[in-house]
Structure 1
């Protein structure tokens, strides 16, 4: 067993021999190479990424002494790439947990069987490094590590997502060297790293060597001062040296031209000031970056800075003097195959997607990200809330969520140094990134004296950025001293709450929703409600949706099919199941429909109809700093989904921040009857690094006032069946069956069962199971708080009881059938009672009207509608309604009214945990047919929801993963009077009453017609 000092259980000993935290930079030999930011081109940089020798031990007890010796034989060890995570390489236990600690809660102690990973690598040091000071930098190691060079102990560090740097000059020699690390899975820092995520271990970020001059620049802090009229910007370059040396500072414009230079001899610490007249300001919409080079001796350090001013005035959050709404997401560092290792290309993919969906803010939930990510945020233009690597949620779980339990660490002075260091290492590393606009003191770790100390230190070190911490919200007891927090932050508040806050004059700080609209599964459904209020009140500064991506882990079934795994799939305990599958994009970054909804809700341009009849439109610019000259407006008029007129406006001139522009579009109102929709599309004129020319930023749609009523639509949309055959319906009762035959059709009704069981035309059977009323949907993740109540009442097993069924043939030949029925499940009283009148006419059309009364004491219904089972091969869908993707009553702003044609597969929206999906809200007519066009047409006097799928709700509900689904040959068609909304109740407020199906009485009408599309 290895003999070492037991540093990992002492919250007051956070490192041994680690260098003080400093700003992120790489030294280069000249400005030209520094400007390229290619680290391998620096002669002072050597990467240690690559293949290392590795040995995993399930317990620290099994680690033997002297494995780190320079002559230790490691030839039989495994090869492991660095950076990487143990768990994604087959070592240790894949483990997802949210609030619960994976170890006994006994701070600062951790289990004696503490898994350990041993790393060894041989490397060379060039001769010209002999006269240099040599350092090693670890950007991220989880959770703590011991370091040896050539057999000598160098130091110890913890704090998983913060950089650790050691001066290794005394231990190196030119030529061959050996480095060894022992990484432990747990340490006292584990109690402060209880974030909602997969628990990965190992060296998961870059490792590299730096060769520095003996007297070199150790740290740089580029502070800014901008006059209130923004006409003069001053850079105060605070430089810390390891010895006395002349330091030269230069600032260049983004285009490369040198603007100003200054120099001074600095011994220890000093400040060099530069001034720029009429500086170009940085913001997320126009991320203009100046280059600042710091030269001392043989080294050039390059920083990019953006002049920007961040203030809070009268409760309003301002950037460069303008009130800005933060349209953000929370982003964990998550890769479906590499775990916490995030390649540069993956970062770029995330940022491109965010830009394409109008997102301007990222909260680094819940730790500082890779510094290269912040470099990209500077370039792309994102506001970043930089969050300390601090969460202690498990303290609450340990005490069964007792009041005040979460404050056990934050209120304990013994942990003050550990808390403050988390802020210090974040701020020092990231202080020169202009994208960082807010410092965050962590997440869900209570609030106490240690957070106050963090806030005090942060304010003292950098007073140019406001400080955020949600844990101080009033819901946590003892939150009395919040002087060091510049905003009030909340999670998952209701829309009425934030509006009440905005109206309360006693609330002097802006309100920031650091988490809202939990995007788990088919979600979120309440975005538009939040942003209607956020835009209305200056005190509301916006928020960050939880969260950016699903944290699924790519896995493989025994038969070789890939899928995304979640908590519990690896036998991990405790686990929180699929709670990590809660993002706007899938693990491989395929957008969910929730991201499309967010894009439209936070779109930076709005257009309203001033006078539709004459084409007058009012355009409002919601950008904060950009006018609309970079966009073009394309418009089209469709009749029943077919384009009739179109055009474009290439010159848009509305000024930023609410500027308006009146437009007159040169369309004319049609004379021919029909449904006419005007669709306006705002598109990029030029290519950007994240979009192609013509990329759509936002759209808006209006129905033109042609005078068409919904009743007219119903008549117009009906198939015009020929009646020249003069053939009346023949109805034959055979026991419980009523068979109705016409000129070219044959329908069958089950009188005992009270429902339709057969529909055919020209001998083509179009129904292979009895039609049934359905109130159940495969629960979405947001239904989980309601699911138990629904099941208790029997919603999932509701069957029809027929009390009376009578039929009659009318004088015109049509047959009417009246059915009195109820729906209910075992144990409970019936859920509802109703009467349905069916009508079968001479042309084969089936019309129905059902009237229902719902039991008064019931929770709201998931849905109500008719479910049909159509035969194999029925795989084409055509409809007029919202599309092309799924839409719901509270999740449809990103969909547009038109005529769509697609396959049943196209109707399906895949969620990692199967659930209700693919419904099309506001459908006015639909056709589900085989490829020859033989099928059923559905019409209703009021819009309905249409869904066609190869799965029943029961199929979806029974599957835990998408790969478990087995598509049926038949097509399941749901024609819903209404479907309850989506909301975000998996971790947010309850579904708003406006989006619930909770009517006590209602009626539903529907027409079903067998058709051959090509002959209609």
Structure 2
């Protein structure tokens, strides 16, 4: 017996009876209805979304023969909502894998145990559709499917994220009908769909029927031609019909006024040209859309279209002749409970959040998104890099041999599969103004098949550049990249970008399609990237990886909700929490990394000219609009208290990329002597927009004023009672220090304080200790191995000697010689510490440290204190209101803040270092009654207060595993190494590392009762 190769493993069969791809649109009965954009109001549209009968089979071989017959009893089957992913409904295996294929790498073959989902839907066909052509449209089915209507076989299709349309007129009948679909989890297309995501299956996008006249507009391509000075535009609509048809066209502006009209009798192929003088141009800042109305017989079609030109001139990416920076993010279709089935309002929420944070570009990683998403991008104003559903990253893991990533693109048998994915995407999306580049896919090697995709795309649509990062030299593929219009890179270093920017011989702009990996507490290098991008015209920007965490909302057995990641469902292979790498959480709560991005790509730059006299320079970084939509205000503060404020006028007319000098009235008499003084300029929206209310903060800038004494506020004067001397006495290995209103105990054996109290109130829970460990961030995932190899995570203090003396001033000084290290390794560092206890109760620490030469940079160095329960109030002067680090602080403002300990915490799905405040001047941790400890240092320090120790955070794999301590853990760090983006990006910059081999740290600790001082 000769085995017949099934379609799902046959490279020669990508479809059967599927209609040729076309532009996405819905016919209506009139223009008024078409203008609503509500397709359900069209008499020619019938949704098949809803409850279907469903049967899951672990293997296609288990499916019952003839299940698709009209008389098959499916009443006992399950009910499943379509669209949906079957894994989110309890069927099959939830699985997250990044690079590795979920099947043995044996293209084009997939496992014989290929899961199959059987779908059946009975429905009534509208009576008024008799005599019309009837089409069945599936907008997304993963991974391939067979279709039957009323028991008759209709066809087959694969390609998970692109529509499949079938002519079903001959199979449908008046009244009751049955559709049956068999969806397979895997097919040969699985080798081209190895994206970094949860592997979902099923009919996950909309399904509907369309009724069309016998002669109707089958497809349309709305091309644009603009005069060199943009004074005139021509909309050239290339219309394809199924028969002879008179087509009338009218173009209306935003107000509904007709600006051009025309008509033509078209039989198969034809063109209608509409000319517009002085057109309003579309761009992301002013997304002006015209309405193209087409009338053909009884059908009305409506297209939103914007006039814009994409061009690369002298290596610079331009929109409408203006150099533009793409300030983007990579976005997956991802929902925490629905998987890849994305509701319209969820898309809108994403775009609103992007607008709120100054994002202007979306890369549809790594496949065409839901077509409604592109409609929204047209309207909201986003530049879109539309990416083909093509990634075969797993080829690089299948064999330990160089070049395996290119195996499929170098194979001519796979070329039809490659081309099919590009052609169907371009045809579907070609009329969307927002699309500024076509992408040939992602991480799929580079060879002849990709070049064929690029050639076809250029021939079909020469108006947009073609992008593909897989052709970068690092991938060692085909070196002929003439078919590509931009140089695309992933995670290129700042140094590489600087070199590229300086190179005047480069004829293509550089696009970082992925950069600044936003995993967990990160990224920490956004401003570094954008300082370089702004500097050079041929650096066109990039897209942060990525927009959202892909956590799956689930519950523990005892009902605690959390976001799961790879491996949480027993899935193999899996890539753990590598899917938790977004700027927002799965439920779209912004991480602090998104605030950093917002600041780095802000459309207004405010710089100091002569800040001492209030002179500033304001630059409009918009590309097309002035600043009339924004309001500027200023505020003067001293030690966190506002002393003056006002509005900054005269900037409304400042044009794109222009700079204007402004002056803030600075009156020295407003300030009292000493103390930190800051000028903050804030930029807000003047009016409501679709994504923000009036008053939304677009950006800000803050300047320290060099007026008066630029020093931290001195600690409050806490005086001992006249005549009372500090008493010191040894009690075994404990040194007891007694003052007028305080008592301290220092353990001479362990070299640290073990008790601090004031007025009998205990302020310490356990011994004070030096600490170098932090719970590794996701961006520490590489360096943490070196840290752990040297025992950083288990470093304890060894005391060599501790001795004390009473100074002439009456203060007591304790000298401690110590080291920090872990078992099996040499000490990481040695230190000498002097603890001085003064008569007023102040404790001054001065430690000198020498770090072993052959250890990696330290995560941190500082002091850790544990304060008793009840110390919940945190007040400090430093960066806020959210967490900040040496390389992740630009979105924070200097000032005085008051929080609870819980409010200091940033809840990352994978617990890690969080909540630190960089460059703190002073901090107080106390009870609500103000009884606590104050911390000061001559130099600003990093500060954190938490209910979790670094060890707690290190050991927990999910936030629900954290057990909140009642005590408050205080970290006071000389320095804390930066965040970076090394989970996928470059190594942390040297300037952000605690790599000093010798340093000193001074800190002052003062028990206080705030209300009395």
State the TM-score, normalized to the length of structure 1: 0.99
Write out aligned runs for 1:375-394 (5 A).
375-394=375-394
Rounded Cα–Cα distance in structure 1 between residues aligned with 2:412 and 2:530: 41
Partners of 1:290 and 1:655 lie apart in 2 by: 27
Residue 662 (structure 2) pairs with residue 693 (structure 1)? no
1:264-291 superposed Cα distances (whole Å, 9 cap, x missing partner): 1001101110000000000000000000
Q: 2: distance between equivalents of 1:232 and 1:318?
A: 18
Q: Which residue of 2 aligns with 1:792?
A: 789
Describe how 1:218-367 pairs up with structure 2 within 5 A: 218-367=218-367
Partner residue of 1:478? Answer: 477
Per-residue deviation at 1:614?
A: 2.3
Residue in 1 aligned with 2:875? 878
- Partner residue in 2 for 1:682: 683
* Residue of structure 1 in register with 2:9 after alignment: 9
Q: 1:654 deviation in Å? A: 4.9
2:79 maps to 79
Contact 1:244 1:265 in 2 (8 A): yes
Contact 2:117–2:183 (CA under 8 A) maintained in structure 1: yes
Identify which of 808, 813, 831 aligns with 2:810: 813
1:949 paired residue number: 946
Q: Aligned to 2:35, what secondary structure does the other structure show?
A: helix
> Are the equivalent residues in 1 in contact too, given 2:245–2:266 (CA < 8 A)?
yes
The Cα shift of 1:683 comes to: 0.3
Q: Distance in 2 between matches of 1:327 and 1:656?
A: 20
Equivalent residue number for residue 172 of structure 2: 172
Does 1:900 find its partner at 2:901? no
Judge conservation of contact 1:525–1:984 (CA < 8 Å) in 2. Answer: yes
Question: In the alignment, which residue of structure 2 is the partner of 1:637?
Answer: 636
Structure-1 residue corresponding to 2:656:
657
Structure 1 equivalent of residue 728 of structure 2:
731
Map 1:66-105; keep pairs closer than 5 Å. Answer: 66-105=66-105
8 Å Cα contact 1:548-1:584 kept in structure 2:
yes
Report deviation, 1:756: 1.0
* CA positional deviation for 1:671: 4.5
Please say if residues 653 and 661 of structure 1, whose CA atoms lie closer than 8 Å, have aligned partners that are also in contact. Answer: no
Q: Secondary structure at the match of 2:729?
A: strand
Structure 1, residues 737-792: CA drift from partner, whole Å, max 9, x if none?
Answer: 00000110001100111111111000000001110000000000111111111111
Supply the distance in 2 between the matched residues of 1:726 and 1:234 (Cα, whole angstroms).
94
Find the residue that maps to 1:776 and give its secondary structure.
Answer: coil
Q: In the TM superposition, what whole-angstrom CA distance separates every residue of 1:205-261 from its partner, at most 9, and x where no partner exists? A: 000000000000000000000011000000110000000110111100011111111
Match among 930, 937, 940 for residue 940 of structure 1: 937
Tell me how far apart the structure 1 counterparts of residues 477 and 53 of structure 2 sit (CA, whole Å): 50
SS in structure 1 of the partner of residue 470 of structure 2: helix
Q: Write the distance in 2 (CA, Å) between the matches of 1:369 and 1:640.
A: 49
Query: What is the CA deviation profile of residues 899-925 of structure 1, one whole-angstrom value per residue up to 9, with x for unaligned ones?
Result: 000000000001000000000001000
Q: Deviations over 1:936-974 (max 9, x none)?
A: 000000000000000110000000000000011111000
Gaps (5+ residues) in structure 1? none
Partner of 2:969: 972
Q: Give the 3 Å change call, closer, same or farther, for CA 5–256 of structure 1 in structure 2.
A: farther
The farther-off stretch of 808-817 and 78-87 is 808-817
Contact kept in structure 2, 1:654 and 1:661, CA below 8 Å: no
Q: Is the 8 A contact 2:86 2:92 kept in 1?
A: yes
2:646 equivalent in structure 1: 647
**Aligned equivalents of 1:514, 1:349: Cα separation in 2:** 23
Counterparts in 2 of 1:429-828, with a 5 A limit? 429-669=428-668, 670-673=670-673, 674-710=675-711, 713=712, 716-828=713-825
1:841-870 CA-partner distances (Å, limit 9, x unpaired): 111110010001111111000000000000
Pair 1:110 & 2:110 matched: yes
**In the aligned structure 2, how far is the partner of 1:364 from the partner of 1:596?**
22
SS in 2 for 1:417: helix
Deviation at 1:65, TM superposition (A): 1.0
Task: Judge conservation of contact 2:226–2:309 (CA < 8 Å) in 1.
Answer: yes
Tell me if structure 2 keeps the 8 A contact 1:291–1:302: yes
Contact 2:290 2:304 in 1 (8 A): yes
Asked if residue 137 in structure 1 is aligned to residue 134 in structure 2, the reply is: no
Aligned structure 1 segments of 4 or more residues deviating by more than 4 angstroms? none
Matched residues in 2 for 1:586 and 1:856: separation? 40
| CA deviation string 1:32-76 (max 9, x = no partner) | 111110001000000000000000000001001110001110000
Match of 2:423 in 1: 424
Contact 2:631 2:685 in 1 (8 A): yes
The answer for the alignment partner of 1:958 in structure 2 is: 955
Q: How does 1:21-32 map to 2 (within 5 A)?
A: 21-32=21-32
Task: Find the aligned partners of 1:105 and 1:768 in 2 and give their Cα distance.
Answer: 57
Q: CA deviation at 1:5?
A: 7.5
Cα offset, 1:202, TM superposition: 0.2
Alpha carbon RMSD of aligned pairs, Å? Answer: 1.0
Q: CA offset at residue 675 of structure 1?
A: 1.2
Check conservation: 1:619, 1:654, Cα contact below 8 A. Answer: no
Contact 2:844 2:1005 in 1 (8 A): yes
Note if contact 1:839-1:847 (Cα within 8 Å) is conserved in structure 2: yes
User: How far 1:295 moved relative to its partner?
Assistant: 1.3
Distance, in Å, in 2 between the alignment partners of 1:824 and 1:5 is 63
Q: Secondary structure at the match of 1:355?
A: helix
Q: Secondary structure at the match of 2:767?
A: strand
Q: Which residue of 1 aligns with 2:46?
A: 46
| Aligned mate of 1:981, from 972, 975, 978 | 978
Q: Deviations over 1:399-422 (max 9, x none)?
A: 13x211000000000000000111
In 2, are the aligned partners of 1:717 and 1:925 still within 8 Å (CA)? Answer: no
Shift of 1:85: 0.4
* Contact 1:614–1:668 (Cα < 8 Å) also in 2: no
Tell me, yes or no, if the aligned pair for 1:528 and 1:601 is still in contact at 8 Å.
yes
Q: Give the superposition deviation at 1:650.
A: 4.6
- Counterpart secondary structure, 1:726: coil
